[in-house]
Amino acid sequence: MSVVSTPATLERALPAMDNAEVLRIRNDFPVLNQLVNGQPLVYLDSGATSQNPVSVIEAEQEFYEQRNAAVHRGAHHLAVEATEVFEDARQTIADFIGAGYEETIWTSNATEGLNLISYALSNAALWAAQGRGDRGLRELALGPGDEIVVTEMEHHANLIPWQELAFRTGAKLRHIPINDDGSLRMDAAASVIGPRTKVLAFTHASNVLGIINPVQELTDLGRAAGALVVLDACQSAPHLPLNVKELDVDFAVLSGHKMLAPTGIGVLYGRQELLDILPPFLTGGSMITTVTMERAEYLPAPQRFEAGTQRISQAVALAAAANYLTETGLDRIHAWESELGQRMVVGLEAIPGVRVLGPAAGRERIGLAAFDVEGVHAHDVGQFLDSRGIAVRVGHHCAQPLHRRLGLTATTRASAYLYNTTDDVDRFLEAVAGVRAYFRA
């Protein structure tokens, strides 16, 4: 079952989420049923890593108990079954994001997916120079005079690979600046993105600001410039309906561990026509057609980018996670998390000495809030909250340039998910209200 193909009537037929339903959902997550420092755990760090429901844990366990074998490599019964569930998982994820089966590639995480694109593009220049591969590679190759555009709010995973691509190819890296409230300066975007832009890469939702970026507006600018459009969907895929075809992006990445799945599994979406001509990133077994002692010929996507033994059990578990989210309803999850996010921002803004990053209360955001407590370091804030059983994130959240732009080195971030209640948020707010007094700030 997929988010894309779920009938709108079914979504409307489901009631809005409330605390009673969330408490039932929590029963599916064993790790949440524990005490931390003598108090019930309030887990508000899902923006970093989400927890796993029993159905996901059992899906991975069942694979190892019943079907553990190498995929695509054997004619025996276990190998056939392993291959079937592995490829069924690919179809499930393709449906989940509105992609084609051949356009859905397994990676270890979103970071690997972004590096895959980056290195494939730099290899395109090498292949084109050697007259190797499809003639369309010349259009994808970057060199001096070309530009790569990102935004000032990017996670390092969607910044450093492009820095390195610019270094390898001689292209120039540019960025779209932000306003003081964290929103993108779209007036500047229209001038930064231009005829020299070959790649436009940006986050769908900021892991620090909670902002949901105007994907269509940015994509239109990229299309007008003839650029490849790359979407970081790590903070959107777990929380709101995602259809890569409707968004009209060329590539998109997501990480399983942020959407109820295990660590070590991610997804890269790419347009079929691009994937089939891009050179591979990793090479070896399982992604070739013919090999001689001098050269190799490569399979089309997705196997073209899946060298070696794959993350089989993790892929199966990710499919179970996608089914869990689909059955709960991504529209409903997004609405509930938006309510929790607004509750956090309203409460934080009312606490003296607390500065909230991103949109002010009443403006759209995903269910997270990063904040600074005047006179108290973020790490001290995090430890104080942990002493009260509340798990949050501290640091620069892999977004140093963004923090520097806002005049900060670190913040505390609370991020909610479908298993958090309004009581969780209220306990968090009550604890934050006591931080400055405790540290005599």
Asked if 418 and 38 touch (Cβ cutoff 8 Å), the reply is: no
Query: By C-alpha distance, which of 242, 339, 324 is closest to 17?
Result: 339
CB 307 within 8 A of CB 120: no
Question: What is the distance, to the nearest Å, from the Cα of residue 376 to the centroid of all Cα atoms in its chain?
Answer: 30
Active site residue 398: yes
- Name the H helices within 260-388: 272-275, 312-328, 330-349, 378-386
Strand partners, 80: none
CB within 8 A of 258, min separation 6: which ones?
Answer: 46, 47, 48, 49, 50, 234, 235, 237, 238
List residues bridging with 394 in a β-sheet: 412
- Within 13 Å, how many C-alpha atoms sit on residue 394's CB side? 15
- Catalytic site residue from 398, 400, 426, 439: 398
Phi, psi of 84 (to 5 degrees): -65, -45
Angle ∠(323,328,334) on CA atoms, nearest 5: 110
Output the six-digit token pair for 111.
């970071």
Report d(CA 285, CA 77) in Å as an integer. 22
Beta-bridged to residue 212, according to DSSP, are 205
Residue burial 205-218, b: 16+ Cβ < 10 Å; e: rest: bbbbbbbbbebeeb
Q: What residues are annotated to the active site? A: 398
